[in-house]
Amino acid sequence: MNKNACKFYLKKISFFIFFCLLSFLNANAQDTLQKVNLSKKNAISQQQKPYVILISIDGFRWDLADKYKAKNLIALRKAGVEAEYLKPSFPSLTFPNHYTIATGLYPVHHGIVDNNFYDKKREVIYRKSDKVMAVDSSWYAGKPIWVLAEEQQMLSAIYYWPGSEISMNGIRPTYFYNYNEIIPMGRRIETVKNWLQLPDHKRPHLIAFYFPQVDKAGHNYSVNSKATEAAVLEVDDAIGQLVQVAKATQLPINFMVVSDHGMTPIDQENTIPLPKAINLSQFVVPPGTALLHLYAKNEAYIQSTYQALKADTTNYIVYLAKDIPKAWHYNKQSDIYNRVGDIILVPKLPKVFSINGLKSDVGQHGFDPSISDMHAIFYAQGPQFKSGIKIKAFENVHIYPLIAQILGLKINDKIDGKLEVLAPILNSPRLK
Ligand code: AMP
Ligand code: ZN
Ligand code: ZN
């Protein structure tokens, strides 16, 4: 063999050894990111209960499965239940809505009234992007569904959900992750498979799983882009794999696929600056595009500023907190944590606010939940659901009592969601 051929074969062999090593390491890699409470077990009485896998696809507008031919989602809803659409709570933003789905409470009742808001008592602006605040339980009220399950000795596993990392009176999901976007999808699906293969006393009955891809593509490239199509198909493929994983276990697993809100194209060029009528020495104004809150430093400033803002409403609608539309469940009377602005401004689409002068994303959400582009999805399938039915649209507060009913969990606290709304989609519903 000549020198060159020898070099060529040596190179090939070292590549082969490198790839074998890589696959070996990958297959045996320890999941150091998963948080596990080793001391917890399902009570014997919980071990016979069914399972729920709750999937959220962030920003998945009501029409996207058909628009981009998401075959696994279409098959899932066809075999189960499909709602005309799922109505988000106001404002149609990620944190308020995920936490509403998790608690069965409107945002003013669970306290996360926006992605960014001001708390007058604490004199602090909450920002969902602040890693410390986003997991600080003192901002969050209500009882998330995973806490309800854990309190009743039923194990839960949450693969990302706003609020799932907080310790609520010392209670957390038995299995969970701190939010990150680095774990490859195949690994995440493998983890769900592992959870479902745990012995009866260790297997979670409630699993939640979150996909950020469609929302990101909608913001950056618009809902009508190739990028959104690719994101929809990527998520659809992952859901197809999750369904196969669940099927192979032969366990009574019920899937619920939801989204938190839709997405709409906006006017990126002509954004609305901070109106001149607002004096920043008199008001705290946290960043916002689809909704601006004005928190008065002194109540005496409210009426005059409101009147000044009313003088030019070409680009926005202005509300005093007490006059916010009843349908939004967001006005002063319901705002128990006093976190909605004294005045709020809602832009007239396709305009949005940009008070810091930054260019807006091409797609946005956060607007009135009755606008069709803000509508979300609800698809459900599994042994506890009727099959092949379509139901009318409903508000996302009603998902919580439905999950509790399937898992046989008792709700002792007052919530906004009502079991009567979704009980008809269950096989032999047991109304409490
Ligand atoms: P939005 O700004 O309303 O479009 O929120 C969507 C973004 O929220 C996602 O792209 C993520 O970056 C972020 N996000 C979603 N879930 C979480 C979470 N559990 N913790 C922290 N950030 C999150
Ligand atoms: Zn979202
Ligand atoms: Zn978004």
Based on the fold, state whether residues 20 and 4 are members of the same structural domain.
yes
Q: How many CB atoms lie within 10 A of CB 38?
A: 7
CB of 115 sitting under 6 A from ligand 1? yes
pLDDT of residue 72: 99
Question: Closest Cα to atom 11, ligand 1: which residue?
Answer: 212
Tell me the C-alpha distance between 216 and 212, whole Å.
Answer: 6
Q: Which atom of ligand 1 is nearest to the CA of 135?
A: 20
- Residues 340 and 378 grouped into a single domain: no
Question: What's the CA-to-centroid distance between 258 and ligand 1, angstroms?
Answer: 15
- pLDDT at residue 27 in the model: 43
In 62-143, where do the E strands start and end?
Answer: 81-83, 86-87, 116-119, 124-127
Higher per-residue pLDDT: 25 or 142: 142
Last residue of a domain, one of 345, 364, 383: 364
- Nearest alpha carbon, ligand 1 atom 5: 94
318 domain-assigned: yes
Q: How many Å apart are CA 377 and CA 227, to the nearest integer?
A: 20
Residue 123 resides in a domain: no
CA distance linking residue 154 with residue 146, whole number of Å? 9
On the question of a cis peptide bond just before residue 91, with omega within 30 degrees of 0, the verdict is: yes
Segment 290-299, tens digit of pLDDT: 999 999 999 9
Residues 359 and 336 in one domain: yes
In a domain, 233, yes or no: yes
Give dist(CA 135, CA 96) in Å, integer: 14
| pLDDT surpasses 80 at 391 | yes
Q: Which ligand is nearest to the CA of 128?
A: 1
pLDDT per residue over 24-51, tens digit each?
334 446 789 999 999 999 999 999 999 9
Range of the domain at 182: 35-105+142-264+369-425
d(CA 114, CA 90): 9
- pLDDT tens, 215-234? 999 999 999 999 999 999 99
CA of 363 to the centre of ligand 3 (A): 8
150 lies in some domain: yes
> What per-residue confidence (pLDDT) applies to 30?
77
**Ligand 1 pocket test target in 57, 92, 95, 133 with most atoms within 8 Å of CB:** 95
- Verify that 193 and 84 share a domain, yes or no: yes
Contact 286, 293 (CB under 8 A): yes
Last residue of a domain, one of 340, 364, 388: 364
Residues 352 and 384 in one domain: no
Regarding the beta carbon of 289 and ligand 1, being less than 6 Å apart is answered: no
DSSP strand E in 270-418: where? 283-284, 292-296, 316-320, 343-347, 363-364, 378-381, 389-391, 394-395
DSSP alpha helix (H) spans, 316-417: 399-407
Range of lowest pLDDT (21-35, 151-165, 225-239, 274-288) = 21-35
Q: Which pLDDT score, from 0 to 100, does residue 12 have? A: 52
Rounded CA-CA distance 385/406 in Å is 9
55-101: per-residue pLDDT in tens?
999 999 999 999 999 999 999 999 999 999 999 999 999 999 999 99
Looking at the fold, whether 193 and 232 belong to one and the same domain comes out as yes
The residue contributing the CA closest to ligand 1 atom 14 is: 162
Q: Identify the H or E element spanning 98.
A: helix 94-103
Number of domains, the chain: 3
Pocket test for ligand 1, best of 58, 89, 176, 216 (most atoms within 8 A of CB): 58
In a domain, 114, yes or no: no
Of all residues in the chain, what percent carry a pLDDT higher than 90? 91
What is the rounded CA–CA span in Å between residue 112 and residue 320? 20
Instruction: Give the strand pairing for 292-296 and 283-284.
Output: antiparallel
Q: Are residues 200 and 322 in the same domain?
A: no
pLDDT in tens, 397-430: 999 999 999 999 999 999 999 999 999 999 975 5
For residue 212 and ligand 1, the question of a CB distance below 6 A is answered with: yes
Residue 179 Cβ inside 6 Å of ligand 1? The answer reads yes
Q: Which of 22-31, 55-64, 130-139, 385-394 is predicted with the least confidence, judged by mean pLDDT? A: 22-31
- Which residue type occupies 143? K
Instruction: Report the nearest-CA residue for atom 2 of ligand 1.
Output: 94
Counting DSSP H helices and E strands in the chain, the numbers are 12, 19
DSSP 181-237: S-S-HHHHHHHHHHHHTS-TTT--SEEEEEE-HHHHHHHHH-TTSHHHHHHHHHHHH
Mean of per-residue pLDDT scores for the chain: 94
User: Closest Cα partner for 397 from 29, 178, 86?
Assistant: 86
188 in any annotated domain: yes
Shared domain for 50 and 189, answered yes or no, is: yes
Cβ-contact 209, 242 below 8 angstroms = yes
Cα R_g (the chain), whole angstroms: 24
Q: What is the pTM of this model?
A: 0.93
Q: Do 186 and 73 have their domain in common?
A: yes
110, 230, 288, 378, 415 from 321: Cα distances, Å: 18, 41, 17, 31, 23
Selection from 341, 333, 339 nearest residue 292 by Cα:
341
Backbone φ and ψ for 265, nearest 5 degrees, come out as: -70, 140
What are the strands of the beta sheet with 206-211, ordered from one edge? 35-36, 175-176, 156-159, 206-211, 51-57, 253-258, 378-381, 81-83, 389-391
Ligand nearest the Cα of residue 97 is 2
- Any domain includes 126: no
Distance CA 35, CA 317 (A): 45
* Token pair in block for residue 363: 């797609």
Same domain for 93 and 16, yes or no, is: no
Which CATH number covers residue 84? 3.40.720.10
The answer on 159 and 41 residing in a single domain is: yes
Q: Are 339 and 233 contained in the same domain?
A: no
The question of whether 94 is a catalytic residue gets the answer yes
Q: Is 374 in the pocket of ligand 1 (CB under 6 A)?
A: no
Domain endpoint, select from 364, 385, 411: 364
**Ligand 1 atom with the shortest distance to the CA of 210:** 16
Q: How far is the CA of 56 from the centre of ligand 2 (A)?
A: 9
| Maximum Cα interatomic distance, the chain, rounded to a whole number of Å | 93
Query: Cβ(58) to ligand 1 under 6 A?
Result: yes
Closest atom of ligand 1 relative to the 160 alpha carbon:
19
Report the CATH number that the domain containing residue 341 is assigned in CATH: 3.30.1360.180
In the predicted model, is pLDDT for residue 106 greater than 60? yes
Q: Given pLDDT bands bounded at 50, 70 and 90, which one contains residue 14?
A: low
Whether 50 maps to a domain, the answer reads: yes
